[in-house]
Structure 1
């Protein structure tokens, strides 16, 4: 017969149970609480006076000496009067917060971005910024532009159709996702809608200073002739004034990389392109294609929007094909890349301005009429 063990000497009942597998099922964490009095502002906000800090320390010593209780017992000031026994708040605290609660109507406090009083970097802008910096590394004469259009599915037979992806908001399409050609043209009615929208933006900003967001409008009519096969080697573009025939620009444009953005429920998707535009000599021989461009340009702070009516011909004898395009171009690319290399907040601010311009244009244009 086993010897009798008094109840108070017995081991707890759970000592014979198997030990839980901690590596796979860790024990419940034990949470600590901040050693702060809710009625006192955070010291990091620099709004607690030296007198209030001394009172805070003294009051905690009193509470711990009274039986070691962890509950806070506020210290009563000698100059406190009236029914309230709460400790008076520092004057700086009252000055900062009293006006906000003194209003009789609805009041709104200034939000700080998150519970940590900072805002995280926008992940969309971060991905776009990393793409631009990686694509432009080691290159000169960089051009960065955004074109509105339609991302099509890679159908080899039948008419092209727009892709459909499982998302309810704009989405950066992975670079290895199969896509068909990007259709960078729009319906004439959409062109008219965007033209009116941009004209309203220019008219409403006419009294603003340039640094305050004034939209500067200009008009140009050019004829572009293209020489070369294109592809990785690029094409040489010769731009001439349609009015005088004077050569305005001769550049060789080469595509470096593209990033596609899918916008479900919107009239357009968009493509961010990084290109190289190098000045070059006048080419010899006939052009492979010509394009007559009637362009309206809206310049705003860090980017410009080009709304263009294009008449293109494969050969001088062929029938012209009419199309309408919109593209957004970053104005000062060297400054943007310098800010990106420095890791400054200005880099994201410039990109956010350009991306939001694209979003506003897409948001305010209806689908093409059927």
Structure 2
């Protein structure tokens, strides 16, 4: 994503925050949070279970915000030839992990200047990522992510839907919740791609 696209999304999303913040606005509000974070990645030793661990800290305080082991399950790449952006759906499992020992050197570090927008079941993160071993010559990229705010609720809806498809009885609205969440998720992505600027 280009710097200009990042700025366009920032402006559009901030406008929605203001509009939904009006006391007379009748629907769900969009919440906004600006975070500056540092991700540090580690290859854990076999004695600690192995795998790769990401430690996310608040850049200002150094406080650990999250320590996870992320395993990518699958990707679905969607090409949009008539739009300025393509998109990808990634399914991953993030498992809480113990922080690595202080003696373990990181394999990579990245800084994230993140604008996070939350609306009902979804979270949109607009992030400027800075990486590179040389602080004098950093590499900067811009990312836009939309994700489910509560993966546990998504999985609960999936289990209800699965029971229904195997012949068990389920109420219409309860059984359709998973499909509705996926439909709204994809529509949100399509709207964002259409407005890539």
TM range (shorter): 0.7 to 0.9
In 1, are the aligned partners of 2:19 and 2:25 still within 8 Å (CA)?
Answer: no
Q: 1:191 to 1:331 in 2, by over 3 A?
A: same
Of residues 203-212 and 352-361 in structure 1, the stretch that sits farther from structure 2 once superposed is 203-212
Q: Residues 195 and 307 of structure 1 are in contact (CA less than 8 Å); yes or no, is this contact kept in structure 2?
A: yes
Distance 1:247 1:211 in 2: 37
Contact kept in structure 2, 1:210 and 1:301, CA below 8 Å: no
1:234–1:254 contact (8 Å) kept in structure 2: no
- The yes-or-no answer on 1:265 pairing with 2:96 is no
Greater shift after overlay, 302-311 or 200-209?
200-209
Deviation at 1:317, TM superposition (A): 6.4
Give CA deviations for 1:339-361 in whole Å, capped at 9, x if unaligned: 12222111111111211111111
Secondary structure in structure 2 of the residue aligned to 1:240: strand
**What is the CA distance between 1:209 and its match in structure 2?**
8.8
CA contact (8 A) 2:116 2:126 kept: yes
1:306 to 125, 144, 156: 125
2:21 is paired with a residue whose SS is coil
Highest Rg: 1 or 2? Answer: 1
Change (3 A) 1:196 1:295: same
CA distance in 2, matches of 1:208, 1:347: 31
CA–CA distance in structure 2, aligned partners of residues 363 and 347 of structure 1 = 24
Describe how 1:268-307 pairs up with structure 2 within 5 A.
268-284=85-101, 285-307=104-126
Once the two structures are overlaid, the 10-residue window that deviates more, 356-365 or 233-242, is 233-242
Output the CA distance in 2 between the equivalents of 1:211 and 1:259: 36
Q: Tell me by how many angstroms 1:286 deviates.
A: 1.1
Pairing partner for 1:227 from 42, 54, 70:
42
2:196 maps to: 365
C-alpha distance in 2 between matches for 1:254 and 1:248: 19
Is 1:325–2:143 an aligned residue pair? Answer: yes
Q: CA RMSD in A?
A: 2.1
Seen in structure 2, the aligned counterparts of structure 1 residues 312 and 192 have a Cα distance that, compared at 3 Å, is same
In structure 1, how many angstroms separate the alpha carbons of the residues matched to 2:177 and 2:26? 15
Instruction: Tell me the equivalent position of 1:120.
Output: none
User: Normalized against structure 2, the TM-score is what?
Assistant: 0.83
| Structure 2 unaligned spans of 5+ | 45-49, 162-174
CA 1:210/1:249 → structure 2, altered by over 3 Å: closer, same or farther? farther
TM-score for both structures, normalised by structure 1: 0.45
